[in-house]
Structures are given as structure tokens and as C-alpha cells.
Structure 1
Amino acid sequence: MQNTRLNSLFDLAFGRLRASLRNPWRRLALFAISFLLGNLMGTTISTIAGQNANLDTVVAAILIVVTETYSWFVYRANRRVSQSLFVQSVNAFKVGLIYNLFVLAFTLGS
């Protein structure tokens, strides 16, 4: 790829973002935001699927397949891949989603 001004600008921006996220407190904040977004998504999915009672089992099956497939790929990969920032953020999102679905299930008593 040619080294244009736009490429240089994006490389500089991503380099600064990468350097910024090496700070452990910022990584922790990113993981907390990912967890909370997963929590929000769990509430959103359960309310949308709860509107039509016939979609509950289909949505639950899809969520189980997606989360288990992601876990299978991440935990069978080498340690370098599983320690990357993106993989850990998605894992925090997944944990927040599952946590919220469990809390909603206990709240509803089902």
C-alpha cells in the first residue's frame, strides 16, 4: 500500500490508541465498558425476544452456539492470541451477556 497522508494519519492514530491502551487502568476501564455493554445487550436481547414468546428458544439456542463457539476458539488458541486486547474485550462482553441472562432468569423465577 502507498504511504499517503491518510495512511500516515491512520497509522499515527492507531499507534497512539495502542500505546494508550497499554496502560493497565485504561485496559481495565475498557474491560469494564465491554462487560457493561454485554450486560446491556443481554437486557436488550431478552426484552426483544420476550415480545414474541415463540422466539425465546431460538434466541437462546443461537446465543449458546455463538458463546460456546467463541469460547472454543479462544481457549484452544495459543496464549498470545488469547491475551490480545480485542479477544479479552469480547470475552468480557460475553461474560456480561451471560451474567445478565442468568440474573434475569433468577429474577423471573424460571
Structure 2
Amino acid sequence: MQNTRLNTLVSTIGQQIRQELRNPWRRIAVLVIALLFGIYAGISFAAIAGQLAYIDIIGAGLVLLLTELVSWIFYRNWGNAHKALWAEALNAFKLGLIYGLFLIAFMLGS
């Protein structure tokens, strides 16, 4: 690939973001934000799927597929995905999504 100004700018920004996220406090902040966004997504998904009652089974299947795919990526034996920030953030989002869905289920008493 040619070393253009745009390519240099994108790679420099990527390196700076990676360097900033090596700080443990910022890493924890990213994981907490991912967890809270997952809770929000779970509550929003439950509200939307509850209003559009004809997509309940399809929505549940998609959520199950998403959670199993994320679990497979994060907990597989080979690779080093559990140490990558994107994998940890994705797993935190998954946990928040499941927690949000359980929260709505307990509030509704179902």
C-alpha cells in the first residue's frame, strides 16, 4: 500500500488511540461504557419487540445467535482474543444485553 497522507493520518490516529487505551482506567471506562450500552440495548430491544409482537421468535433467535457467537469468539481455547480490548468490550456488551433482557423479564413478571 502506498504511504499517502490519508494512510499516514489513519495509522497515526489508530496508534494514538491504542496508546491511550493501554491505561487501565481508560480500559475499564471503555468496558463499563460497553456494559451500560448493552443494558440499554437489551431494554430497548425488549420494548421494541414487545410493541411489534410478530417478531418475538425471530428477535429471540437473533439475540441467541449474537450471544453464542460472541461467547465463541471470547471463550474459545485458541487465540488471544480474551486479551484484546475489542473482544472484552464485545463480551461486556453481551453481558449487558442479557442483563437488560433479564431485568425487563423480572419487571414484567414473566
Quick one: percent identity of the two aligned structures? 45
> Could you list the runs of 5+ residues in structure 2 that have no partner in the other structure?
none
> Could you list the runs of 5+ residues in structure 1 that have no partner in the other structure?
none
Kindly report which structure 2 residues correspond to 1:1-110, keeping only aligned pairs within 5 A, or say none: 1-78=1-78, 80-110=80-110
Amino acid at match of 1:106: F
Q: What TM-score, normalized by structure 2, do the two folds share?
A: 0.92
Check whether the contact 2:70–2:90 (CA below 8 A) recurs between aligned residues: no
What is the rounded CA distance, in whole Å, between the counterparts of 1:90 and 1:70 in structure 2?
7
Shift of 1:77: 4.1
Q: What TM-score, normalized by structure 1, do the two folds share?
A: 0.92
**4+ aligned runs moved over 3 Å, structure 1:** none
What is the rounded CA distance, in whole Å, between the counterparts of 2:14 and 2:70 in structure 1?
26
Aligned residues: 110
Check whether the contact 2:73–2:81 (CA below 8 A) recurs between aligned residues: no
Amino acid at match of 1:47: A
CA deviations on 1:81-108 (whole Å, 9 max, x unpaired) are 2210100000000000000100110000
SS of alignment partner, residue 41 of structure 1: helix
Mean Cα deviation higher: 66-75 or 35-44: 66-75
